[in-house]
Amino acid sequence: MNLPNGLTLMRIFLVPLLVAVLLTKYNVLIAAAIFLAASLTDLLDGYFARKRGQITTLGTLLDPVADKLLISSAFISLVQLQVVPAWMVVIIVGREFAVTGLRSIASAQGFMIDASELGKMKMVTQVTAITLLIVGMPMPSGTPHPIFHTLGTISLYFVVLFAVVSAFDYFRTFWTKIDYRFKARQRRRLILLQKRQRRQLPTRDVPTH
């Protein structure tokens, strides 16, 4: 197993540890450190895969799964702890799975949908929001400053905004490419039909004098 895939698997293995530390309210700093470490592997696995030329089918499949597991588990745990509203998490997590499904359909159709700038901004804001919300949790092991919870909540609203807008952007890109491919196929069919019609036209004999 190469390094990028190892980092992706590490992210998956850190998910249950993060959930356990969060739900038991053990220590906010440890929970935040686990989440940040897992998020860092998301950057590193892609970096090393490109730099070393180690982009594999396994890594391509596992990376988005690991991302969704980490983000979804963190948000659902925060809902369980009544730190964030459930409706916001439904929008964010629902968007994640919708975009993943859209990319899978695009791949099956033979084209890729690259990550948009809005999607990248959402990811950065998402990691920031979750980290701030974790540190701002009232746990028995310490009394964090409430400013972290306030900043985390503000960041979360931006996450929802970026999630909705970027989802529309991904769907727009998807339909644009689908429409382009459909029109291209229609043009090819028309050209083939015209060629067949030309071949079927009767040839006229030229009279000789």
Distance CA(78)–CA(97), nearest Å, equals 19
pLDDT score for 117: 81
Residue type, 128: T
Render each residue's pLDDT in the chain as its tens digit; 209 residues: 788 888 889 999 999 999 999 998 888 889 999 999 999 998 888 777 788 777 777 677 788 888 889 999 999 999 999 999 999 999 999 998 888 888 888 877 777 777 778 878 888 999 999 999 999 987 665 555 689 999 999 999 999 999 999 899 888 888 888 877 778 778 888 888 777 777 776 655 555 55
CA dist., res. 191 & res. 189, Å (int): 5
pTM of model > 0.85: no
What pLDDT sits at residue 43? Answer: 86
CATH number listed for the domain at residues 3-192: 1.20.120.1760
Res 108: pLDDT? 78
Q: Cβ distance 144 to 138 under 8 Å?
A: yes
Distance CA 163, CA 85 (A): 16
* Cβ count near 68 (within 10 Å): 15
Please compute Rg for the chain using Cα positions: 25
DSSP string, 85-102: -HHHHHHHHHHHHHHHHH
pLDDT at 201: 65
Query: What local confidence, expressed as pLDDT, does residue 79 receive?
Result: 95
> How many residues does this entry show for the chain?
209
